[in-house]
Chains A and B, each alone.
Chain A
Amino acid sequence: MDNQRLLQALELDDSYRVVRVLAAHPSGTTELVSDANRGLHIRKRIPHELSNRQAWEALGKVRDQRVPRVELIYELPDALVVVCQYVVGTTVAELLSRQAHLEAYEAAGIALGVCRAASALHAQGIVHRDIAPGNVVIAPNILGDSPSNRTYLIDLGVARVRSDDVAAHDTTTLGTRGFSAPEQYGFAQTDARSDVYSIGRLLLCLLLGRMSDEVSLDIAVLSDDAVPAQLRPIIERACAFEPSARYQSAADMAADLEEAEIALGGTYVSQGGGGYRVAMPALGAEDVARRSKAPSSVGEADAGLWSRLGYAQAWATAGLIRQSLGVASWVVALCLGLTFVSVAFDSSKFTRPTDPAYFLAAGLIGLACSLIAGNELCLFFLRGGRYRDVPNRKKLLARVLLIDAAAMVLLMMLAAMILGVVDGLIKNFTAG
């Protein structure tokens, strides 16, 4: 490697600060790093002999919200370095270890999200090869998204680009025991259908609330009450030993899962940009029975899921506050706007700028505008992930309030200025 390229790479390498080393193995290091703007990223160093730059570059072309973006690839003398988007949330492994039990529609939604992520990868010719609970992250519910939209498929460390050489067997066995398809132990070339198998196992674990290596997949398990009838055939087909008997693509499986998710009562209807959860009417007696213990409203559903996700609650709380403030501030702004218009046209009220009514109006309008702007700002920041490094609820709320306060002061000043101009114009007009 020539000097110039290495210097550039080192410059990039040193522009990140290591926050925490997440994993250090001979097969590579994974670090949580922060950039100059305090934004968080995941950085992987993979020794050259194990790295596959081609696969990472293909991954960089995947444009799916459920797959962490590859932001930067560079080479050091001994390793390939990849910087990826950092996804906040709880891994399914953590959920399972906490013995959290997911509702069937949540499980189906998560599996659906993984299917969509996997099919985006497959479209670029990438096989993930390690779809396992530790590599599926559920982001906290801030904007009322469905589980499938909050599911991320992470850790593409062992992803490989599909080889055209069918005879070639994978030489190394990688992946997670209990989730890897049989062919990944060296029976045949792995392809998209290996990932389908893993998703099937994942779904089963989500439903049973147990890790897969404790669960031998057979009829007894599938007839467990925890596995709803709608999902049973999907799991059976996805986990067939012969790849040819499985779903031939993750997209096929996604279609079936989507249907099952709807049947299980977990449909989400997107409303405008935000997307609020709309509970579907119950479908049949079985669903009614299930629903008696299932969440009955938007808040309950989210609270139910997020209470199980512990720390992530802060996010949900912040999201809820933002949402209610958003609605409230629009209402207040509308009322005040109407009042102002009606007062403004009665110009006698605004003969002197020192009139208390003038300041009151400016203040109130500023307040309303700032609520709106603060809301939008917060949503923007929350969406943009600037809050990913906030460790607890208090700090998160403090920051949200800080943004609100700043927006409020700014907009009050702006409103006062605008009112001053309008007042001047009115006076000019009436004087003329």
Chain B
Amino acid sequence: MTALQPEPLTDELLQQLLDSATPEAYLAQANLPSRSLADYAHQLLEERGISRADVIRASGINATFAYQVFKGERNIGRDHAIMLAFGLRCSLVETQRLLRLAGVSELWCKVRRDAIIIFCLQHGMTRAECDDELYRLGEPTLLTSEG
């Protein structure tokens, strides 16, 4: 786990990049935070004071798979990343950050299914409650029968 430094705001970084003459000039001064999905997940665990077992139970992700994700040994798909966000009790902003770190597309309110998920996250619902909503509104659920 990396120590938390005050992180430069994304907007400021973008402005710096646009103002730079070369990419190297930006890279040299920007001091980009190197943070992985696993680091971020551990940071959230620590902040919330919850254990990985709690997260796995709440998210419905397969335990062995989640263990490897927490160790940073495995990449995670979009739906699994969303489930992980539910397990970690993420806010919308945290969820979007988690999805970016997972290298998948963020939740987008113009997409019907994403909109439902955003609503559920925003209203503090659990992963199971979110799946109920998705099912009710005729969208594929996060937890599939294959797990």
**Interface set of A (CB-CB < 8 Å, partner B):** 1, 3, 6-8, 10-11, 13-15, 76-78
Which chain B residue has the least Cβ–Cβ distance from A7?
B53
Any A CB within 8 A of the CB of B56: yes
The answer to whether B51 touches A3, judged by C-beta atoms less than 8 angstroms apart, is no
- Please, which residues of chain B bring their CB within 8 A of the CB of A8? 53
Report whether over half of chain A's contact residues are helix, strand or loop; otherwise say mixed: helix
- Please, which residues of chain B bring their CB within 8 A of the CB of A15? 51
The answer to whether A11 touches B67, judged by C-beta atoms less than 8 angstroms apart, is no
Q: When chains A and B are docked, how far (Å) is the Cα of A6 from the Cα of B66?
A: 10
- Please, which residues of chain B bring their CB within 8 A of the CB of A6? 63-64, 67
Any A CB within 8 A of the CB of B20: no
The answer to whether B63 touches A14, judged by C-beta atoms less than 8 angstroms apart, is no
For residue A49, give the distance in angstroms from its CB to the closest CB of chain B: 16
**Interface set of B (CB-CB < 8 Å, partner A):** 45, 51-53, 56-57, 62-64, 67-68, 71
Residues A14 and B52 in contact in the complex (CB < 8 Å), given A3-B62, A7-B57: yes
The answer to whether A10 touches B68, judged by C-beta atoms less than 8 angstroms apart, is no
For residue B17, give the distance in angstroms from its CB to the closest CB of chain A: 36
For residue B88, give the distance in angstroms from its CB to the closest CB of chain A: 13
The answer to whether B51 touches A10, judged by C-beta atoms less than 8 angstroms apart, is yes
The answer to whether A10 touches B64, judged by C-beta atoms less than 8 angstroms apart, is no
Which chain B residue has the least Cβ–Cβ distance from A2?
B63
Q: When chains A and B are docked, how far (Å) is the Cα of A1 from the Cα of B68?
A: 13
- Please, which residues of chain A bring their CB within 8 A of the CB of B71? 78
- Please, which residues of chain A bring their CB within 8 A of the CB of B67? 6, 10, 76-77
- Please, which residues of chain B bring their CB within 8 A of the CB of A78? 71
Q: When chains A and B are docked, how far (Å) is the Cα of A14 from the Cα of B67?
A: 12
For residue A46, give the distance in angstroms from its CB to the closest CB of chain B: 15
**Best-surrounded residue of B53, B56, B68, B71 (most CB of chain A within 10 A):** B53
Residues A1 and B64 in contact in the complex (CB < 8 Å), given A7-B56, A7-B57, A10-B56: yes
- Please, which residues of chain B bring their CB within 8 A of the CB of A3? 62-64
Which chain A residue has the least Cβ–Cβ distance from B50?
A14
* Complex A-B, nearest 8 residue pairs according to Cβ-Cβ distance, in ascending order: A14-B51, A6-B63, A11-B53, A10-B53, A3-B63, A10-B52, A7-B53, A77-B64
Question: A3-B64, A7-B57, A11-B51 provided; 15 other pairs, C-beta below 8 A?
Answer: A1-B64, A3-B62, A3-B63, A7-B56, A10-B52, A10-B53, A10-B56, A10-B63, A13-B52, A14-B45, A14-B51, A14-B52, A14-B53, A77-B67, A78-B71
For residue A75, give the distance in angstroms from its CB to the closest CB of chain B: 11
Tell me which of A11, A14, A77 contacts B68 (CB under 8 A): A77
- Please, which residues of chain A bring their CB within 8 A of the CB of B52? 10, 13-14
- Please, which residues of chain B bring their CB within 8 A of the CB of A14? 45, 51-53
Which chain B residue has the least Cβ–Cβ distance from A9?
B53
Q: When chains A and B are docked, how far (Å) is the Cα of A11 from the Cα of B56?
A: 10
- Please, which residues of chain A bring their CB within 8 A of the CB of B63? 3, 6-7, 10
For residue B60, give the distance in angstroms from its CB to the closest CB of chain A: 11
Q: When chains A and B are docked, how far (Å) is the Cα of A206 from the Cα of B56?
A: 51
- Please, which residues of chain B bring their CB within 8 A of the CB of A11? 51, 53
Q: When chains A and B are docked, how far (Å) is the Cα of A395 from the Cα of B45?
A: 31
For residue B4, give the distance in angstroms from its CB to the closest CB of chain A: 16
Q: When chains A and B are docked, how far (Å) is the Cα of A77 from the Cα of B45?
A: 20
- Please, which residues of chain B bring their CB within 8 A of the CB of A77? 64, 67-68
- Please, which residues of chain A bring their CB within 8 A of the CB of B56? 7, 10
For residue A196, give the distance in angstroms from its CB to the closest CB of chain B: 41
For residue B44, give the distance in angstroms from its CB to the closest CB of chain A: 13
**Best-surrounded residue of A6, A10, A14, A15 (most CB of chain B within 10 A):** A10
**Best-surrounded residue of B45, B56, B62, B67 (most CB of chain A within 10 A):** B67
Which chain B residue has the least Cβ–Cβ distance from A14?
B51
Q: When chains A and B are docked, how far (Å) is the Cα of A394 from the Cα of B52?
A: 38
- Please, which residues of chain B bring their CB within 8 A of the CB of A10? 51-53, 56, 63, 67
Which chain A residue has the least Cβ–Cβ distance from B55?
A10
List 8 A-B pairs, Cβ < 8 Å: A3-B62, A3-B64, A6-B67, A7-B57, A8-B53, A10-B67, A11-B51, A13-B51
- Please, which residues of chain B bring their CB within 8 A of the CB of A7? 53, 56-57, 63
